[in-house]
Structure 1
Amino acid sequence: MAFINFVRDYERIARFRLGTFEGMMGPGIVFSLPIIHQIQKIDTRVTVLDIPRQTNITKDNAPLDVDFLVYLRVNLDDAEKAVLEVEDYTSAVVGLATTTLRAVIGDIDLDDVLSQRDRINELIRARLDSETARWGIKVTNVEIREIDPPRDIQEAMNRQMSAERVRRAVVLEADGTKEAAVTVAEGEKQSAILKAEGARQAEILAAEGDQQAAVLRAQGYADALKAIHGVASGVDANTMTLQYVDALKELGAADSTKFVLPLELTKMLGNLGDLTSQDD
């Protein structure tokens, strides 16, 4: 009498004939004969393994309690390895994950373990996947759930974080004071520049005013000289002679008995004699 086995899409059956492996069967209906066939069913869906909490020592000798999850599945192309190469692949993966975690944590300092969880997850996953490939197992993901340092380390970390916050506050305050001083100095610099520029412009304007005033005064003197020259050029010799005669009259009315006459005056008096003789 044959047994009928219904194999789902996510399942495979390893069938042995008198102890000899025949292959992976399914999905669908798989027959097996009593005594002749032995079968072992494999689930190819992703399975989650909860790795028990364990104490690990970091690179700087700090003890940490860590527990994590491993997500794995049987590779369809190599499903027979999960039957032929390992007796219980689940237990094998748990043991391998435990030793892999200790190796990874032992190469990393405490601060990095606490701050680089994603990196540690990927390191564990890559190492597990390379080891379990010979069993036909694919490790798809690793997630650390808890990392618990001892109480004394936790207290030291809290003090360190408090000191770091104080340091950042001091740095921010110093930066603010520095920026304020720079702003004030920049304002004073701009003010001094503006004052100097204003004084320079004032001096330039004053110099330009003095220059224009000097030009105007010189222009006035030049115009006055031109006017005097124009009037003088219109006076003839007879007019000048009469002016000298009037001057002599004023001299004659004075108390002085001796007079010094310029040469030009004697010439004009000679001209005056000529004029009177012409009239006779």
Structure 2
Amino acid sequence: MEYFLAVVIVVGVIIFLKFGIRRITILEYEKGLKYVKGKFKSTVEPGQYWYTPYFTIIQKLDVRPRFVSITGQEVLSADGVTLKISIAANFEINDPNVAINKVKNFQEALYLELQLALREIIGTVDIDSVLSGRNELSKKLMGVTEPKVTELGLRLISVNLKDIMFPGKLKEIFAQVVNAKKEGLAALEKARGETAALRNLANAAKMIEGNPNLMQLRLVQAFGNSSGNTLILGMPSEAVTVPIFKGSASKEHTGKARE
């Protein structure tokens, strides 16, 4: 009798361990996929749950945002230039049921959608637009890809054109163009400065022509900053000799000069 009870207890323990209730904890950054007899039933939110493993399986899924980088994609611009462009994207799983059960590999599918959209966009613009409008192209890439990515159960957070690389000869050409632009800007700025100086001289000449005494006053101001010089100012009936001593307090030396 005791032997029979022991066997019953052992069998009961085995049955409980195999078919009994188990506990699972889904963390804050996770979601659970609940399957009953192999069929998807629901998405389980973070928390602690009890389930029967004989009938039910709960699969954990990390739903934190993920960063992906697609490097060195060769694309052809509208003017026939081959470029290598790298893309940086940030996304998260929005619908675990679709991302896991409807798509075999959602990350590979995302790569493909980004690559196709990039080729489509770059193929409609020339190389100058690619260089000057990188931010606009990133926004356009986001707008084209986002609806298709949503169908994969994902949410696209951001997409950016990270690096744009040109063929070797084209790099040299663009370097020459950049240098030429800088030299042109420097020459233009120099010409503007010379034009402003000539304009100031012309204005000064007009002022002196209207009032000749301004020239004498300007000469006095110029020689006033020097030492040991004598300035003779012509007057209608006589000339006045003014010795200028820098820093000297004596300013009473005057004399008459012959006309």
Q: Name the CA distance, whole Å, in 2 between partners of 1:41 and 1:128.
A: 27
Taking structure 1 as the reference length, what is the TM-score of the superposition?
0.63
User: Percent of aligned positions with the same letter in both sequences?
Assistant: 22
What displacement does 1:47 show?
0.5
Q: What corresponds to 2:4 in structure 1?
A: none
98, 106, 123: which is aligned to 1:89? 106
Q: Name the CA distance, whole Å, in 1 between partners of 2:54 and 2:116.
A: 40
Q: What corresponds to 1:58 in structure 2?
A: 77
The verdict on how the C-alpha distance between 1:98 and 1:168 changes in structure 2, with shifts beyond 3 A counting, is same
Report how many aligned residue pairs link the two structures: 195
Provide, for residues 189-235 of structure 1, a one-character-per-residue CA deviation record: whole Å limited to 9, x for no partner: 22223359xxxxxxxxxxxxxxxxxxxxxxxxxxxxxxxxxxxxxxx
Provide, for residues 83-123 of structure 1, a one-character-per-residue CA deviation record: whole Å limited to 9, x for no partner: 34322211111111111111122222212212322222222
151, 158, 172: which is aligned to 1:134? 151
Counterparts of 1:215-254 in structure 2 under 5 Å?
Answer: none
What displacement does 1:45 show?
0.8
- Asked whether 1:179 is paired with 2:196, we answer yes
Unmatched runs of 5 consecutive residues or more in structure 2: 1-19, 214-259
What displacement does 1:80 show?
2.8
Q: What corresponds to 1:68 in structure 2?
A: 87
- Residue identity matched to 1:4: R
- Residue identity matched to 1:40: Q
Report SS of the residue matched to 2:78. Answer: coil
Report SS of the residue matched to 1:6. Answer: strand
Q: Name the CA distance, whole Å, in 2 between partners of 1:54 and 1:121.
A: 15
- Residue identity matched to 1:20: K
25, 48, 65: which is aligned to 1:46? 65
Q: What corresponds to 1:114 in structure 2?
A: 131
Higher helix share: 1
What displacement does 1:74 show?
1.6
Q: Name the CA distance, whole Å, in 2 between partners of 1:60 and 1:138.
A: 33
Q: What corresponds to 1:260 in structure 2?
A: none
Q: Name the CA distance, whole Å, in 2 between partners of 1:175 and 1:156.
A: 29
35, 47, 53: which is aligned to 1:16? 35
Q: Name the CA distance, whole Å, in 2 between partners of 1:103 and 1:161.
A: 28
The verdict on how the C-alpha distance between 1:24 and 1:116 changes in structure 2, with shifts beyond 3 A counting, is same
Higher strand share: 2
CA contact (8 A) 1:14 1:83 kept: no
Q: Which moved more, 1:95-104 or 1:23-32?
A: 23-32
